[in-house]
């Protein structure tokens, strides 16, 4: 008999939640996968995790109030042993890297066949890290972990993670406030508009906790 794998699902769209739950019930039950609850937002998923003690949470990457990476970061912070798999409708290598930086254990696309999602869950529960197989060749993933940021944008990211505003960023980098605003907008766009805590976590992941050499490089 297969060991039971208890899951909680989170997606802000009810039809998608119900569809994923039904697919996992139909194709995952033979592997011991059991859906305990479906949540539409962070308070609901947190309550479900605290009350039902699942092995794994399947999170939608894109939600209106809080993105999946932020939910993953919050859950992992309090429950480091909880397994998390991200699910997204966008095949973005950058978002895969963001999810990994937030602590997710695996990643799947909504365009994948159900068997891929089931296998991703099984691999995560087996202690594997199914990120590379999701996004392509292994050598692509390290390159993605810089999120496509330029040297100047990495400097801006470090200052943003420290809580600095545009005026201070401009003074530190020797640029105009308007240019600082432009860099800030570009950084946040590349990082999928993260919350302050996720922003700080990404800065740590990129090794920006040490002092940066500030120069005139644009």
Give the model confidence (pLDDT) of 88-109 as tens digits.
887 777 777 788 888 899 888 8
Domain of residue 167, CATH code: 1.10.10.10
Final residue of a structural domain among 111, 142, 173: 142
The pLDDT score that the predictor gives to residue 121 is: 92
Together in a domain, 78 and 136? yes
Q: How many domains does the chain have?
A: 2
Select the more confidently predicted residue: 154 or 5.
5
**Domain boundaries, position 51:** 5-142
Tokens of 82: 């909880």
C-alpha to C-alpha distance for 152 and 212, rounded to whole angstroms:
10
The pLDDT score that the predictor gives to residue 181 is: 92
Chain segment 177-218, per-residue pLDDT in tens: 988 998 899 888 888 777 777 777 777 777 775 443 333 344
C-alpha to C-alpha distance for 46 and 171, rounded to whole angstroms:
41
pLDDT exceeds cutoff 90 at 7: yes
> pTM, whole model, 2 decimals?
0.63
Whether 215 is covered by a domain: the verdict is no
Whether 15 is covered by a domain: the verdict is yes
Cβ atoms 147, 174 nearer than 8 A:
no
Together in a domain, 21 and 106? yes
Chain segment 108-134, per-residue pLDDT in tens: 888 888 888 898 899 899 887 766 444
Chain segment 53-88, per-residue pLDDT in tens: 999 999 998 888 888 888 998 899 889 999 999 998
Cβ atoms 61, 90 nearer than 8 A:
yes
The pLDDT score that the predictor gives to residue 109 is: 85
C-alpha to C-alpha distance for 49 and 5, rounded to whole angstroms:
14
């Amino acid at each position: 008999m297969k060991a039971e794998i208890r899951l909680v699902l989170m997606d802000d769209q009810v039809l998608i939640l119900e569809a994923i739950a039904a697919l996992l019930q139909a194709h995952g039950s033979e592997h011991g996968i059991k859906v305990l609850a479906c949540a539409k937002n962070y308070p609901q998923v947190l309550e479900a995790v605290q009350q039902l003690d699942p092995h794994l949470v399947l999170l939608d990457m894109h939600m209106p109030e809080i993105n999946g990476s932020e939910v993953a970061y919050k859950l992992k912070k309090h429950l480091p042993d909880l397994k998390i798999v991200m699910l997204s409708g966008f095949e973005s290598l950058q978002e895969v890297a963001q999810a990994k930086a937030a602590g997710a254990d695996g990643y799947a696309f909504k365009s994948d066949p159900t068997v891929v999602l089931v296998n991703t869950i099984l691999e995560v529960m087996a202690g594997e890290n199914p990120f590379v197989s999701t996004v392509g060749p292994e050598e692509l993933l390290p390159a993605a972990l810089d999120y496509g940021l330029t040297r100047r944008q990495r400097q801006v990211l470090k200052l943003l993670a420290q809580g600095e505003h545009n005026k201070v960023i401009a003074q530190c980098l020797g640029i105009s406030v308007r240019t600082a605003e432009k860099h800030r907008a570009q950084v946040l766009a590349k990082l999928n508009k993260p919350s302050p805590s996720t922003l700080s976590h990404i800065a740590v992941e990129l090794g920006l906790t040490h002092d940066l050499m500030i120069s005139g490089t644009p």
